[in-house]
């Protein structure tokens, strides 16, 4: 018999640690290969760690709610010497990437182990991690909670108001935030402290889109098994607008000193979960999909988001976010930017309105389907001309939608 250290595997280039949520086995229990051993959570999504071996759980190295770094041992298993090990990335299973002495020195100084180092995206030859790559990674990691945010949280907890709120009475109930709500709260405060939020509002006529969907939704679902929602059209129009105005598709780095212009268009979809929390699955390379392809991937992402089955990498890398506040009956709002992006659009409720319609024969009054688009953007890098023009551009693409579009 020998011991095997169960390693917390890499889960994406921006994920450096995970919280232990629940052990499914107790010390002394038999563990089968590919059996789920422990449930974990990152700041992106919940996940599971499988056992790569047959054996016995000898010792848990982390308790529930404790945080483990990627690449660290989280448990010790007792196994037979000839047990075949599978599916967990180790230094023997994957080809080692070369790291210069300088990069290794920086990693050692910052407490970055080999497994965490392996998750850093390299920009050098053969994906080699350069000095700039590791310094950027460290800077992003340290800025997850800004000094300003820490100061606000500290002051908030020391006020008399907070002390009063924590005093329980027969008319009050003290509820502790769950893990995801704490993360969301931290990210929202961080975003407001980082970005200078401005919101522009535009009304759009979506009558053609509504009638188009009503005309084909039943046949489309019968032929494909997919429910035809309007979000696919909204995503398509946002993508077109980004191509016209690519400076919306950027991020701000280096403490506000540099702008990164994104070549890829990755659209995040803010999705409400059954428990009231929020998650943002991402459509990678959204400009590469047809309208039918968008329908399929959006339905899949939202379905798996609500059943907690997203992979960590499916919530990362977004360059622009859309929030469908109309699904809650809201007309418009002022959404908070999803960092490190610089803009977000909220889609309001579709309403029937009496509208003036311009025709070659003259103006007339008719019933039209209208929505409000709420576009929040970071005024550090996006002025009103660009932020407002982008919202109008999306509205124009929605209004130009062809009723006879085939999907």
Q: What are the residue numbers of the active site?
A: 379, 383
Q: Would you tell me how many other CB atoms lie within 10 Å of the CB of residue 107? A: 20
Cβ partners under 8 Å of residue 86, min gap 6: 33, 34, 52, 53
For residues 249 and 236, give the distance between their C-alpha atoms in angstroms, rounded to a whole number.
15
H or E element in which residue 154 lies: helix 147-157
Burial letters 163-185, b for 16+ CB under 10 A, else e: eeeeeeeeeeeeeeeeebeebbe
For residues 129 and 123, give the distance between their C-alpha atoms in angstroms, rounded to a whole number.
6
**Which residues make beta-bridge pairs with 282?**
268
For residues 168 and 175, give the distance between their C-alpha atoms in angstroms, rounded to a whole number.
10
Measuring CA to CA, how many Å separate 363 from each of 354, 355, 358, 359, 367? Answer: 13, 10, 5, 6, 13
User: Is the CB of residue 73 less than 8 Å from the CB of residue 7?
Assistant: yes
């Amino acid at each position: 018999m020998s011991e095997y250290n169960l390693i917390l595997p890499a889960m994406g280039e921006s994920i450096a640690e995970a919280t232990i949520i629940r052990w499914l086995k107790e010390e002394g229990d038999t563990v089968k290969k590919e059996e789920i051993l422990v449930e974990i959570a990152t700041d992106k999504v919940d996940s599971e760690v499988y056992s790569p071996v047959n054996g016995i759980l000898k010792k848990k190295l982390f308790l529930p709610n404790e945080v483990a770094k990627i690449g660290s041992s989280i448990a010790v298993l007792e196994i037979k010497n000839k047990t075949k090990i599978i599916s967990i990335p180790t230094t023997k299973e994957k080809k080692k990437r070369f790291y210069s002495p300088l990069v290794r020195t920086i990693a050692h100084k910052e407490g970055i182990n080999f497994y965490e180092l392996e998750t850093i995206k390299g920009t050098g030859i053969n994906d080699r991690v350069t000095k700039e790559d590791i310094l950027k990674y460290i800077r992003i990691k340290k800025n997850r909670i800004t000094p300003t945010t820490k100061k606000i949280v500290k002051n908030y907890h020391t006020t008399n108001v907070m002390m009063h709120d924590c005093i329980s009475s027969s008319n009050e109930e003290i509820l502790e935030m769950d893990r995801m709500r704490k993360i969301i709260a931290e990210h929202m405060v961080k975003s407001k402290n980082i970005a200078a939020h401005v919101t522009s509002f535009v009304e759009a006529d979506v009558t053609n889109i509504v009638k188009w969907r009503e005309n084909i939704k039943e046949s489309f679902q019968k032929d494909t098994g997919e429910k035809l929602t309007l979000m696919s059209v909204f995503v398509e129009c946002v993508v077109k607008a980004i191509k016209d105005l690519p400076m919306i598709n950027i991020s701000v780095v280096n403490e506000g000193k540099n702008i990164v212009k994104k070549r890829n268009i990755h659209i995040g979809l803010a999705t409400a979960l059954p428990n009231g929390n929020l998650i943002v699955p991402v459509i990678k390379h959204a400009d590469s999909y047809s309208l039918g392809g968008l329908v399929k991937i959006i339905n899949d992402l939202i379905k798996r988001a609500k059943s907690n089955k997203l992979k960590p990498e499916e919530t990362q890398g977004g360059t622009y976010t859309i929030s469908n506040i109309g699904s809650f009956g809201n007309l418009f709002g002022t959404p908070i930017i999803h960092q490190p992006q610089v803009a977000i659009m909220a889609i309001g409720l579709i309403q029937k309105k009496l509208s003036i319609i311009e025709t070659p024969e003259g103006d007339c009054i008719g019933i039209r389907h209208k929505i409000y688009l709420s576009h929040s953007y970071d005024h550090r890098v996006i002025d009103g001309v660009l932020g407002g023009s982008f919202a109008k551009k999306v509205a124009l693409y929605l209004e130009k939608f062809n009723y006879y579009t085939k999907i």
